[in-house]
Amino acid sequence: MSDVKDLVGLELEPYSMAVEKGKIKELAIAIGDDNPIYYSLEAAKDAGFEGIPVPLTFLQVIEYHGGYGFQEKMEVLKLNPVKILHGEQDYEYLGDIYAGDELHVTSKIVRADTKIGSSGGMDFVTEETRFTNQKGELVAIAKITLVHRH
């Protein structure tokens, strides 16, 4: 790729994925969160939820299991995977996400810049991912900034 800015506007292949109760529990265990709302429908309802909610970083599970794998995404972006750093991650929840929901996911590159320093150059590539539920409601937006070292 001659200029990383050529990536801006690139839309990745959309996909859909069901939010599975078992994946919610797996993530809660992995991050050490023993809050019963992630394991029990009764506990979730007692806490005021309509169903078993997702932990705050669950969107990464959706992206990891439903979208491109890391290597495949790097090929699409024409970036060297051994020179990638995870620069920043941001989640904005606009609605609730529960076990049993079906999420439709779309992603595009919204920003790409190159910065040059004393040790060389780095590309900063920001991807925005939108999550829409089975009712057509936009429930979350995730942004990730990848740092690609030259």
Q: CATH number of the domain that 73 lies in?
A: 3.10.129.10
DSSP secondary structure letters along 86-125? EEEEEEEE-S--BTT-EEEEEEEEEEEEEEEETTEEEEEE
- Number of compact structural domains in the chain: 1
Q: What is the pLDDT of residue 123?
A: 94
The vertex-42 CA angle with 39 and 46, nearest 5°, equals: 110
Q: Which domain holds residue 15?
A: 4-149
CB 34 within 8 A of CB 25: no
Backbone φ and ψ of 37, nearest 5°: -65, -20
List, for residues 76-103, the tens digit of each pLDDT value. Answer: 999 999 999 999 999 999 999 999 999 9
Q: What is the pLDDT of residue 12?
A: 95
List, for residues 5-56, the tens digit of each pLDDT value. Answer: 999 999 999 999 999 999 999 999 999 999 999 999 999 999 999 999 999 9
Which of the four pLDDT bands, split at 50, 70 and 90, describes residue 2? low
Q: Which pTM value belongs to this model? A: 0.91
Which of the four pLDDT bands, split at 50, 70 and 90, describes residue 107? very high
List, for residues 61-77, the tens digit of each pLDDT value. Answer: 998 888 888 899 999 99
Measured CA to CA in angstroms, residue 96 lies from 8, 29, 52, 140 at distances of 30, 21, 10, 9
